[in-house]
Structure 1
Amino acid sequence: MVNAPWLHIVGIGEDGMDGLTPVTRAVVEAAEVIVGGDRHHTLSVNPDAERIAWPSPFDAMITTLESLRNRRAVVLVTGDPLWFSVGARIGRAIPADQLVYHPQLSAFQLAAARMGWSLADVETLTVHGRPVEQMIAFIQPDQRLIVLTTGVETPTQIAKFLTDRGFGNSRMTVLAAMGGEREERFDGTAADWSHTVPAFNTLCIDCVAAPDAALLPRVPGLADALFQSDGTMTKQEVRAATVAKLMPMRGALLWDIGTGCGSVAIEWMRAARYARAIGIEPRADRRAMAAANALALGTPKLELIDGTVPDALGGLAAPDAIFIGGGLSRATFDAAWDALRPLGRLVVNAVTLESETELFALYRAFGGDLVKLQVNRAEPVGRLTGWRPSMPVTQWSLVKR
């Protein structure tokens, strides 16, 4: 016998009960207990239901919901429960056959309709309850963004991000209370943004680049000058080749061993949505540079660990990729290789003869690809121009199968 679902996750808009389908409205009206935020409770009608506010801390939500298992329970959320909403978090903890989702039009759909934008051609982001800096990675010429914001100050913060990077002429629109009687719209440009907007809002951005705008593509190979560094870093061309071998993928985790200023980890995180990285670096000054670079380049969730390898690797979540840019030893390799998930990618760069000798031994034992990379840059030689070579980098890479 299959038990009937006991928990309904209902998306509700500014039009409240009037915007629900008859079936969904009946579910809300029949609920014994309703969980949601203050505005959700205001928008819903059921005078007999017990009302529960979002628990604090939010991680207590699942425990709260589990306690309602034998009652007719409804969770109210804004818009689509499975699009940057709590529905996904609940679905990871409670089996799918015990849940029913009732989607409503999302803020993204409503905003795209107000702007006349094709949603398929727009980047949809959220900084609600998340670091605002993570939207920086999506600032591109002619890109349209719809951003779920985190409060009154967020549009002003984002306007500064845009202006500082040469996108001050970008057109910005804030939409609030969409679909309700109190719907509001605020228009302007990033450079002159001065509106005071409601706390619950959605931001639409049409990115316009000035001739001197910073070009920060998500394809790896950012200019070295964009990173704070003490000179010890994986340089632009080698970094592009390194990240390509690491193969960034959605939600994948990288260990960056000997992270330095964080250039490889940051490029990894920028290259794929929700990619994560842990940087292990024993020097505090370099960790500080890596943290500053992560904020400036839109990867504020870069995790930095003070420690030396291999000891610092114990207890970390299993990675999908590992980059060893410093601290190579057979013990470090063994610990990293053991932790790497199946189909994981490992890349090691070496510039010294001692490290190169270690790499060759590993290559003989494990296979993979061994290449030597060298970049020559054109520089003045008196009144003429010549090639100045950089130190060659020996790179070993392999996939765990």
Structure 2
Amino acid sequence: MGEGAPWLTIIGLGEDGPDGLTGASRAALEAAEIVMGPQRHLSLLPDLPGQRVDWPVPFADGLNLLAGYAGRRVVVLASGDPFWFGAGSVIARRFARAEWCVLPGPSVFSLAAARLGWPLEQVLCLGHHAAPLTRLRPYLARGVRMIVTLRDGAAVADLGQYLTGLGFGASILWVMEALGGPREAVTQSQADAVTGAFSHPVAVAVQIDGDGAALPRASGLADGFFDSDGVMTKRPVRALTLSALAPKPHEVLWDIGGGSGSVGIEWLLCHPTTEAITIEPRADRIGLITANATALGVDRLRVVEGRAPEALGDLPTPDAVFIGGGLSAALLEWLYGQLPTGTRVVANAVTLESEAVLIAAHRVRGGALLRIDLSEAAALGPRTGWKAAYPVVQWSVVL
């Protein structure tokens, strides 16, 4: 190993073992002093001069073990393309760029698309070997094609039941075991009729079909998508609120006074890189918010029990703040004193007292003040009339 050369090589190994490796990968294996990897991968290798080391469970323990071999010739075995839902990115975060190199193989997604003749650029590729199936929820709509890696063979039946429970039981599944190796098997089934035992490693290609309800891409999901105790920002006002908050990739939201969590949840649905923290003072609503977030596929919503501003001090700095409950002049002053210039703040008021707080803030701080008056057609005796909702005053400002 030359001076300054990487001591660590990450090799993407397929189910066909060394038969599918390039010359460079073969040479790295033969020169390695240490070969680390899961037992399944190590078992595919022929006799080699290097010492074999099982990667421990949990995965994080292997990073410290690997660090102890620094400076020696080390190969780490990963599945297919180590940087597509693989171990490569975790290892790369731990070690300096000059310490490692990678020799990838074909990913399971490429192999699955090749078996079915699917254009991979039009297919949703998801790694769910360590994630709950509920994270699929935002993507479920008739005609969507996806390839999903699963934790084990038993998860195939779980996937079929999950899709069926949401009305997508007519979806077609191609269960793919050990793609690219001598044990490769592809089994086609309908989601509501999945039977049989399947072996790890397993991926499932899915063409979504059925009468299930797809989540709209526009802001303002129907209220029925959320469980609520009656306190929530209703669909039309929520759509206007999200429009004013203007979520962008990688941004963080504080949702103060979560209620059912609907605003924070829709913020997260806008983009997979967004973050949201809901601050809710009532303990009995914490479980409700969490359940709504999980059911709609955004279990990354963080829920903090407490009152603002006391509960805000240790939270990550937000890009936007929504105040749906607990509005006061003191809270607004705290936000102005603590948050950086450029933070977007949107506050909704229903009572006269909270409306007065927003009018005063608008007079001093500027921004935009909007009054939202909505009426819905409802029965009026034998006829139909307009039933007015409480008007909402919305103030939006950039600090």
- TM score, norm. by length of structure 2: 0.92
The one-letter code of the counterpart of 1:70 is G
Tell me which stretches of 4 or more aligned residues in structure 1 moved more than 6 Å: none
Q: Please say which of residues 170-179 and 195-204 is displaced more in the overlay.
A: 195-204
The one-letter code of the counterpart of 2:387 is R
- 1:146-165 matched pairs, under 5 angstroms: 146-165=147-166
What is the deviation of 1:161? 2.3
Distance in structure 2 (CA, Å) of the matches to 1:31 and 1:3: 17
Matching of residue 129 in structure 1 with residue 130 in structure 2: yes
Q: Deviations over 1:55-87 (max 9, x none)?
A: 343333433333222111222111111111221
The one-letter code of the counterpart of 1:223 is A
Look up the match of 2:276: 277
Look up the match of 2:78: 77
Distance in structure 2 (CA, Å) of the matches to 1:150 and 1:344: 40
Equivalent pairs counted in the alignment come to: 398
- Three-state SS of the structure 1 residue aligned to 2:111 is helix
Distance in structure 2 (CA, Å) of the matches to 1:362 and 1:388: 31
Evaluate the alpha carbon distance shift between residue 89 and residue 337 of structure 1 in structure 2; reply closer, same or farther with a 3 A threshold. farther
Task: Answer whether contact 2:137 2:296 (CA < 8 A) is retained.
Answer: yes
Distance in structure 2 (CA, Å) of the matches to 1:53 and 1:322: 47
Task: Answer whether contact 2:251 2:319 (CA < 8 A) is retained.
Answer: yes
The one-letter code of the counterpart of 1:93 is R
Q: Please say which of residues 14-23 and 156-165 is displaced more in the overlay.
A: 156-165
- 1:379-398 matched pairs, under 5 angstroms: 379-398=378-397
Q: Please say which of residues 191-200 and 339-348 is displaced more in the overlay.
A: 339-348
Q: Please say which of residues 131-140 and 383-392 is displaced more in the overlay.
A: 383-392
What is the deviation of 1:331? 4.1
Distance in structure 2 (CA, Å) of the matches to 1:245 and 1:359: 15
- 1:248-263 matched pairs, under 5 angstroms: 248-263=247-262
Matching of residue 8 in structure 1 with residue 9 in structure 2: yes
Gaps of 5+ in 2: none
Q: Deviations over 1:357-397 (max 9, x none)?
A: 22233334443332222322121222222222222222222
Look up the match of 1:139: 140
Task: Answer whether contact 2:255 2:321 (CA < 8 A) is retained.
Answer: yes
Q: Deviations over 1:257-310 (max 9, x none)?
A: 111111111112222124332222121221121122122212223222221221
The one-letter code of the counterpart of 2:228 is S
Task: Answer whether contact 2:11 2:102 (CA < 8 A) is retained.
Answer: yes
Task: Answer whether contact 2:375 2:389 (CA < 8 A) is retained.
Answer: yes
Task: Answer whether contact 2:231 2:259 (CA < 8 A) is retained.
Answer: yes
Evaluate the alpha carbon distance shift between residue 225 and residue 20 of structure 1 in structure 2; reply closer, same or farther with a 3 A threshold. same
- 1:218-237 matched pairs, under 5 angstroms: 218-237=217-236
The one-letter code of the counterpart of 2:394 is Q
Evaluate the alpha carbon distance shift between residue 207 and residue 354 of structure 1 in structure 2; reply closer, same or farther with a 3 A threshold. same
Q: Deviations over 1:147-191 (max 9, x none)?
A: 111222322222222212221111111101000010011211112
Task: Answer whether contact 1:144 1:204 (CA < 8 A) is retained.
Answer: yes
Matching of residue 373 in structure 1 with residue 369 in structure 2: no
Task: Answer whether contact 1:320 1:340 (CA < 8 A) is retained.
Answer: no
- 1:42-121 matched pairs, under 5 angstroms: 42-45=43-46, 47-121=48-122
Task: Answer whether contact 2:133 2:162 (CA < 8 A) is retained.
Answer: no
Q: Please say which of residues 226-235 and 127-136 is displaced more in the overlay.
A: 127-136
Look up the match of 2:175: 174
Look up the match of 2:204: 203
Look up the match of 2:18: 17
What is the deviation of 1:34? 2.1
What is the deviation of 1:344? 4.3
Q: Please say which of residues 391-400 and 99-108 is displaced more in the overlay.
A: 391-400
Evaluate the alpha carbon distance shift between residue 63 and residue 377 of structure 1 in structure 2; reply closer, same or farther with a 3 A threshold. same
Task: Answer whether contact 2:157 2:195 (CA < 8 A) is retained.
Answer: yes
State the percentage of identical aligned residues: 42
Distance in structure 2 (CA, Å) of the matches to 1:152 and 1:279: 36
What is the deviation of 1:339? 6.1
Q: Please say which of residues 45-54 and 159-168 is displaced more in the overlay.
A: 45-54
Look up the match of 2:331: 332
Evaluate the alpha carbon distance shift between residue 70 and residue 244 of structure 1 in structure 2; reply closer, same or farther with a 3 A threshold. same
The one-letter code of the counterpart of 1:26 is A
User: Which is higher, the Rg of structure 1 or of structure 2?
Assistant: 2
The one-letter code of the counterpart of 2:61 is A
- Three-state SS of the structure 2 residue aligned to 1:333 is helix
What is the deviation of 1:336? 4.5
Task: Answer whether contact 1:349 1:394 (CA < 8 A) is retained.
Answer: yes
- Three-state SS of the structure 2 residue aligned to 1:191 is helix
Evaluate the alpha carbon distance shift between residue 260 and residue 99 of structure 1 in structure 2; reply closer, same or farther with a 3 A threshold. same
Evaluate the alpha carbon distance shift between residue 256 and residue 61 of structure 1 in structure 2; reply closer, same or farther with a 3 A threshold. farther
What is the deviation of 1:53? 2.6
Task: Answer whether contact 2:34 2:53 (CA < 8 A) is retained.
Answer: yes
- Three-state SS of the structure 1 residue aligned to 2:173 is strand
Distance in structure 2 (CA, Å) of the matches to 1:112 and 1:31: 33
The one-letter code of the counterpart of 1:186 is T
Distance in structure 1 (CA, Å) of the matches to 2:259 and 2:205: 36
Q: Deviations over 1:204-250 (max 9, x none)?
A: 1101132xx32322432211122111111010111122223333344
- TM score, norm. by length of structure 1: 0.92
Task: Answer whether contact 1:322 1:336 (CA < 8 A) is retained.
Answer: no
- Three-state SS of the structure 2 residue aligned to 1:313 is coil
- Three-state SS of the structure 2 residue aligned to 1:312 is coil
The one-letter code of the counterpart of 1:25 is R
Distance in structure 2 (CA, Å) of the matches to 1:341 and 1:21: 52
Distance in structure 2 (CA, Å) of the matches to 1:269 and 1:70: 43
Distance in structure 2 (CA, Å) of the matches to 1:330 and 1:49: 68
Task: Answer whether contact 1:142 1:209 (CA < 8 A) is retained.
Answer: no
Evaluate the alpha carbon distance shift between residue 275 and residue 382 of structure 1 in structure 2; reply closer, same or farther with a 3 A threshold. same
